[in-house]
Amino acid sequence: MKILVCLKRVVDYNVRIRVKPDGSGVVTDGVKMSINPFDEIALEEALRIRERGDAEEVIALSIGPEDCQQQLRTGLAMGADRAILVTAEAAVEPLAAARVMLKLIEREGTDLVILGKQAIDDDCNQTGQMLAALWNRPQATFASKLELADGRATVTREVDAGLEVIDVELPAVITTDLRLNEPRYVKLPDIMKAKKKPLETLAIADLQVDVTPGVQVETYEPPPTRAKGIMVDSVEALVSAMRDKGLLG
């Protein structure tokens, strides 16, 4: 069985996001970039499946600029067998990303696709669902536990009412939640070995998929600065203050 894992390059979650002065995007120059945390969990789960003997190969895929090689090399250091970079200078929307993934699935003969439930930069939570629809295969999202047996995947997911268990037939698309696992720490010898692992580069234009943006972003704005709070001495004073702010009729 082949497992395809999708890794997105994002601004590290520890970095404080700053909007460019002209509102054209967020500042990325000199900013630490990392694998999307949810995708890192997806890769860890794929590696555990392979280590249990339920898969033969784990392929890491990224779509973006040449700089994404850094995140793919990290994925290879974690244990992925090989990596594929689909180069695209412009931002790729979830539907376009799903179309690219489908092309690679068809080429590689993938049995299972695992990716994070969402990316921390846009929080779209769309790519996995769109991929499943295009591929016409089952999906199980927000996985907090994953078990494989007899050509099927059993996924436990957290919902408002508790836990929900979904049983799907492979091939399938799985998206991961934070509680699924804890990604392994990458050691220096693994980083050195990763340099010798194959990393294939493809141009997005060569895949002949429609990546025309469906949404045009006109400007970026930081969230408004929160007003300083005030202390009140009684419930009556609280109600009065809320009325003054127009929060109560």
Whole-number pLDDT of residue 224: 85
Query: Residue 76 maps to which CATH number?
Result: 3.40.50.620
- Is the residue at 234 inside a domain? no
pLDDT band at residue 230 using 50, 70 and 90 as cut-offs: confident
- Is the residue at 157 inside a domain? yes
CA–CA distance, 166 with 108 (Å, rounded to integer): 26
Whole-number pLDDT of residue 28: 87
Whole-number pLDDT of residue 244: 86
- Is the residue at 34 inside a domain? yes
Provide the number of structural domains found in the chain: 1
CA–CA distance, 18 with 26 (Å, rounded to integer): 6
Whole-number pLDDT of residue 217: 85
- Is the residue at 248 inside a domain? no
Average pLDDT over residues 36-51: 96
Query: pLDDT tens digits for 195-212?
Result: 999 999 999 999 999 888
Residue 184: pLDDT above 90? yes
- Is the residue at 244 inside a domain? no
Whole-number pLDDT of residue 199: 95
pLDDT band at residue 153 using 50, 70 and 90 as cut-offs: very high
Residue 160: pLDDT above 90? no
Owning domain of residue 17: 2-216
- Is the residue at 126 inside a domain? yes
- Is the residue at 196 inside a domain? yes
SS3 sequence of the chain: CEEEEECCEEECCCCCCCECCCCCCECCCCCCEEECHHHHHHHHHHHHHHHCCCCCEEEEEEEECHHHHHHHHHHHHHCCCEEEEEECCCCCCHHHHHHHHHHHHHHHCCCEEEEECCCCCCCCCCHHHHHHHHHCCCEEEEEEEEEEECCEEEEEEEECCEEEEEEEECCEEEEECHHHCCCCCCCHHHHHHHCCCCEEEEEHHHHCCCCCCCCCCCCCCCCCCCCCCCCCCCHHHHHHHHHHCCCCC
Residue 79: pLDDT above 80? yes
- Is the residue at 73 inside a domain? yes
Whole-number pLDDT of residue 76: 96
